[in-house]
Amino acid sequence: MIFFTQESSKWQERSDVLDVVGKHILSATIPSSSHSVIVRSLLQVIGSDKHTQLVTKAANMLQQFAERLGSSFGTYAERCLSVCLAKFKDNNRNVVQALRHATRAVLETMPLELGTTQVLVGMSHSSASVQAEATELLAHCLCLHSPHGPFPDRLSSAQRIRHVKPLLPVLHSLCQHRTSACREAGCLAFASVQLFLDDNPQQFEPLIEGMLDEQRRIKVAVCLDTLRTATYERTKKSKNVDHTSAAPPVDRRKQKKDNKSKKASTVGVDASMLERIALRELNGLVIDTPTLQFKSAIPTSFALRS
């Protein structure tokens, strides 16, 4: 059992104990009785430690742990989001980046309603940086659960409208915020709302009537293009990974036979031709790895300050 304490005034000693926690996270088996202790240890560092390197390390470990447990992590997700969002007041770039990855990994273990509710709490925080990060996290949540997202909830159009309608006044207020970060995050979230509504302007436009001027509408349109591409790519990768994991076993005898046929077919072909064939085959391969934090799949607008 692991107990992380901050009794030591030396950061290196605290780091050594944190390394022990990390080894447990990466171990082959983790007893379920240790889950809550690991989470509590990491949150203690994230929420209280003054050393930015330790906070960054703990946030990275939290991301790993959430990704490893998947839906089983949901028990701890609400508390984790609360602590991580509050820590966004820290302006250290490494800390902020690690927290972004951690919060997205945690959010992916939560159902839509709970994730939205918890993020809204962060959006009401007194710190503008926390508000902006929470709003980006809301956009991430809505994209995840959009009809074409990686976790499409089976919701009717009416249910989707009912879910986003209470969010719109908050987003409208953010688009008028004094800080550019909150204004940009608000436009991003508006774009995610349209994506959540099955990318249907006929449903989206009546809901936002009178909320956005022409300049903000242009920003929302730009964000929508970015989110649309990123969401579809993320979903495509998720499906490819699932398909690969469920693939039937390879017939080794047939594989050897095919390899012999390939060798025979290249007899008499010069080296440059072989190189072109190899390149063509490599270009035809789709080598997918799971995209465990949605933020990294989005090139510009969604990762506003990465």
- The CATH code of the domain that includes 224 is 1.25.10.10
The greatest distance separating any two alpha carbons of the chain, rounded to the nearest whole angstrom, comes to 73
In a domain, 306, yes or no: no
C-beta atoms surrounding 242 within 10 Å: 11
Same domain? For 126 and 139 the reply is yes
**Which of these three, 110, 143, 160, is where a domain ends?**
110
User: How far is it, in rounded angstroms, from Cα 287 to Cα 289?
Assistant: 7
Same domain? For 102 and 185 the reply is no
C-beta separation of 108 from 294 below 8 A: yes
pLDDT at position 237 is: 74
Same domain? For 22 and 37 the reply is yes
C-beta separation of 235 from 150 below 8 A: yes
Same domain? For 48 and 117 the reply is no
The one-letter amino acid at 137 = L
Count of domains for the chain: 2
Residue 149's H or E segment, with its range, is: none
How would you write the pLDDT of the chain (306 residues) with one tens digit per residue?
Answer: 445 555 567 888 888 889 989 998 988 888 898 999 999 999 999 999 999 999 999 999 999 999 999 999 999 999 999 999 999 998 899 999 999 999 999 999 999 999 999 999 999 999 999 999 999 999 999 999 999 899 988 999 999 999 999 999 999 999 999 999 999 999 999 999 999 999 999 999 999 999 999 999 999 999 999 998 888 788 877 666 544 433 333 444 444 445 555 444 444 444 444 444 444 443 443 333 333 333 333 333 333 343
Cβ-count burial of 58 within 10 angstroms (0-12 exposed, 13-18 middle, 19+ buried)? buried
Strands (E), 179-304: none
Residue 7 belongs to domain spanning: 1-110
Same domain? For 25 and 39 the reply is yes
In a domain, 79, yes or no: yes
Stated pTM of the model? 0.75
User: How far is it, in rounded angstroms, from Cα 87 to Cα 272?
Assistant: 56
Same domain? For 171 and 228 the reply is yes
C-beta atoms surrounding 86 within 10 Å: 17
In a domain, 247, yes or no: no
In a domain, 6, yes or no: yes
C-beta separation of 142 from 198 below 8 A: no
Letter string b/e over residues 133-151, b meaning 16 or more CB atoms within 10 A of that residue's CB: bbbbbbbbbbbbbbbebbe
C-beta separation of 288 from 240 below 8 A: yes
pLDDT at position 240 is: 63
User: How far is it, in rounded angstroms, from Cα 66 to Cα 106?
Assistant: 6
